[in-house]
């Protein structure tokens, strides 16, 4: 699907962003692409923010229980240090990284690295989330995934928070969030 671009005999880097609401399959798609990288014999490093301990500290695990080993990091800058010289970098839950993630990804691409980023494009209130809009603006390839609305069965792009807390970051699963379409998200 994605051909590796070359320029003047040198590999060019690029970015793929996988975005959507909760339960849309973002981590599953990231894992699928990274497994193909491994099958192709390319070198890869995979990262997630260290605050994401929902399933496992050292694995990205999808809701369907697919998993791949990763390195949890406290800040985006650590990715640049740990990913030196690899062909592909995978980043899950990118919305939880500091704003430096955009610069880190840009440097990786300029060094010839393919970067695959997955993250929520909107927060629980329907606003753009973290650095994802900045990453989307710079990406060569964008995949927007959809969940299914639990209220009506239409395509869901929103992550409806079932709890009353106003904190921007609230790690949770089906106990705290559910996918909703636009109409059901805004209904009173």
Active site residues per annotation: 93
Report how far residue 27's alpha carbon sits from residue 18's, in angstroms, rounded to the nearest whole number: 9
Look at residues 162, 82, 84, 181 and name the one whose alpha carbon lies nearest to residue 124.
162
Return the closest-CA partner of residue 117 out of 16, 48, 21, 46. 16
Q: Which of 169, 59, 66, 64 is nearest to 124 (CA)?
A: 169
CA distances, 7 to each of 11, 40, 84, 112, 157 (Å): 6, 21, 20, 10, 37
Strands 147-148 and 141-145: unpaired
């Amino acid at each position: 699907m994605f051909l590796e671009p070359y320029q003047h005999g040198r590999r060019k880097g690029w970015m793929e962003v996988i975005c959507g609401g909760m339960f849309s399959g973002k981590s599953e798609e990231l894992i699928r692409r990274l497994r193909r990288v491994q099958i192709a014999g390319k070198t890869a490093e995979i990262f997630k923010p260290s605050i994401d301990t929902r399933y496992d500290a050292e694995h990205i695990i999808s809701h369907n229980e697919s998993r791949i080993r990763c390195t949890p990091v406290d800040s985006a800058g650590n990715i640049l240090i740990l990913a030196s010289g690899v062909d592909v970098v995978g980043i899950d839950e990118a919305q939880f990284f500091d704003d430096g993630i955009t610069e880190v990804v840009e440097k990786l691409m300029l060094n010839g690295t393919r970067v695959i980023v997955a993250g929520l494009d909107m927060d629980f209130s329907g606003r753009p989330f973290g650095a994802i809009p900045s990453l989307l603006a710079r990406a060569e390839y964008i995949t927007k995934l959809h969940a299914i609305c639990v209220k009506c069965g239409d395509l869901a792009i929103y992550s409806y928070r079932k709890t009353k807390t106003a904190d921007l970051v609230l790690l949770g699963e089906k106990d705290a969030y559910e996918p909703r379409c636009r109409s059901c998200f805004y209904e009173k």
